Amino acid sequence: MSLNGQQEMKRITTTTTRISRKAFHQATQAEPLNSLKRNNPDAVLQLPFWPRHAQPGFLAIKAFHAEIDAIPLAVSRSGKTVIAQMRYQWWRDAIQGCYQQDVDTPSNHPLIQVLKPLIKTHKLSKYHFTRIINGSVKSPSILFLFLENETDARSFQETHYLDPRFTNLGELVSHSQSTTYAVLSLLAQLLFSNGPQPALPLATVDHGLSHLGTFLTIVRLLKRMPYYMRHRQTHIIPPELMACPEESLFRFFNPRPAKLYSSSSPSTHEPSSSDHPRSSLLNLVFLAYSELVAAREVISLDPSHSHHPDFRSSKSAQQIEKHIFEGPRSHLPKVRMDRTLMPLFLPAVSHVFCSRVHPFIRCSLISTFSFCSLVWRRRRGASSAGSPRSSLPITTAGLVVRSHTKQT
């Protein structure tokens, strides 16, 4: 074969290899994106605002969390919790295989095939992956403290195994640290591994992410509140924040037709303003608000930032409610933030846009976000009127977020 023929053959081989690698890359990224569209469509809105080098890792980490978070919703609630246990254990073994050097292909699952090279490249912590899985499983030993009969306790465990149960505010914060905060920590490792380092100390960034994680956890619980109420599950609201009877919450989310009520029936009694279901829901909204404000104070190095055992001890719920719903003049001043931290705080924006949220909860959350005055701007310029992108800019957290796409 002549020299020109050898060069042409080498060129064809190189081109074919590049095309194959590109096709393989697109195929491996398609599965995490499709999984994220199914389980967490709000996260897809954040993808264009992440740096290009971190977008594959963002998709994989968020898709992993969405898969774990969807297990309780996908498994039947007819006592077959063993299926959920098997799925959790499968993910534990799959993550373990990603960190074993002697295992080339830990699993045929497309998401695991994407995660293993990302874990090696960005040195993602195994501790956070395991914490996300274990944080979704309720410890059964606590249940036996409340029920004397072991059989009743076992039945109680099977019924509520897949539901979060918080007996106090501390358990709610602990749950957020094991789930949402762990995801944010992985995203921070991904963002700072090969990219520019933040100007703030990593301990300060970690502190701000802990408050942001609690905020996002409460928002997720509020969005799923109708689902929990349909299954008569009120233990997601800590007793300290519960301001109404459980039956009032059930009726609030599942109102009965008016013809089923009679004037003499005691069930037609309207709750007073002090024990109305809105009071319990607003307590959660106020707690989310206080955590978002705390995150702002941390990332802006506000010297007035301090911790309180209960958000109501530093500022009464009535004052917070007045501050949130008073109007645009009550907005907090904007704060300056390191540009490298912008992608981590995008979830505070996208969690509002969910048409399946109860109208009262959606209005309360939008009022909370609007109060914080973060301006979402795009470097491409204004979108055409009436397009879906024209509805994205919103005021919430006092920061300016721009996409990482180039100007056109």
Are 114 and 197 part of one and the same domain? no
pLDDT value at 129 more than 90: yes
How do residues 174-209 score in pLDDT, each as one tens digit? 888 989 999 999 999 999 887 788 888 888 899 989
Asked whether residue 210 is domain-assigned, the answer is yes
What backbone phi and psi angles, to 5 degrees, belong to 353?
Answer: -85, 85
At residue 317, the pLDDT reads 57
Last residue of a domain, one of 122, 138, 154: 138
Are 326 and 404 part of one and the same domain? yes
Last residue of a domain, one of 72, 105, 138: 138
Asked whether residue 257 is domain-assigned, the answer is no
Asked whether residue 1 is domain-assigned, the answer is no
Are 97 and 230 part of one and the same domain? no
Length of the chain equals 408
Find the range with the poorest average confidence among 40-44, 84-88, 396-400. 396-400
Average pLDDT value over all residues in the chain? 68
At residue 312, the pLDDT reads 56
At residue 149, the pLDDT reads 47
Q: Which one is predicted more confidently, 348 or 30?
A: 30
Are 202 and 313 part of one and the same domain? yes
Are 94 and 235 part of one and the same domain? no
Asked whether residue 145 is domain-assigned, the answer is no
Asked whether residue 192 is domain-assigned, the answer is yes
Are 118 and 202 part of one and the same domain? no
Would you state the structure tokens that stand for residue 194, as one six-digit string?
């090969």
Asked whether residue 265 is domain-assigned, the answer is no
Range of the domain at 31: 23-138
Are 194 and 299 part of one and the same domain? yes
Are 107 and 229 part of one and the same domain? no
3-state secondary structure the chain: CCHHHHHHHHHHHHHHHHHHHHHHHHHHHHHHHHHHHHHCHHHHCCHHHCCHHHHHHHHHHHHHHHHHHHHHHHCCCCCCHHHHHHHHHHHHHHHHHHCCCCCCCCCCCHHHHHHHHHHHHHCCCHHHHHHHHHHCCCCHHHHHHCCCCHHHHHHHHHHHCCCCCCCCHHHHHHHHHHCHHHHHHHHHHHHHHCCCCCCCCHHHHHHHHHHHHHHHHHHHHHHCHHHHHHCCCCCCCCCCCCCCCHHHHHHHHCCCCHHHCCCCCHHHCCCCHHHCHHHHHHHHHHHHHHHHHHHHHHHCCCCCCCCCCCHHHHCCHHHHHHHHHCCHHHCCCCCCCCHHHHHHHCHHHHCCCCCCCCHHHHHHHHHHHHHHCCEECCCCCCCCCCCHHHHCCCECCCCEECCCCCCC
At residue 375, the pLDDT reads 29
Last residue of a domain, one of 138, 173, 202: 138
Are 131 and 214 part of one and the same domain? no
At residue 283, the pLDDT reads 81
Find the range with the poorest average confidence among 47-61, 250-264, 351-365. 351-365
Domain total of the chain: 2
The residues with which 401 forms a beta bridge, in sequence order, are 376
Asked whether residue 259 is domain-assigned, the answer is no
pTM recorded for the entire structure: 0.72
Are 134 and 172 part of one and the same domain? no
pLDDT value at 78 more than 60: no
How do residues 221-277 score in pLDDT, each as one tens digit? 888 888 777 777 767 788 788 777 777 777 777 766 544 444 444 444 444 444 577
Asked whether residue 146 is domain-assigned, the answer is no
Are 176 and 286 part of one and the same domain? yes
Are 117 and 191 part of one and the same domain? no
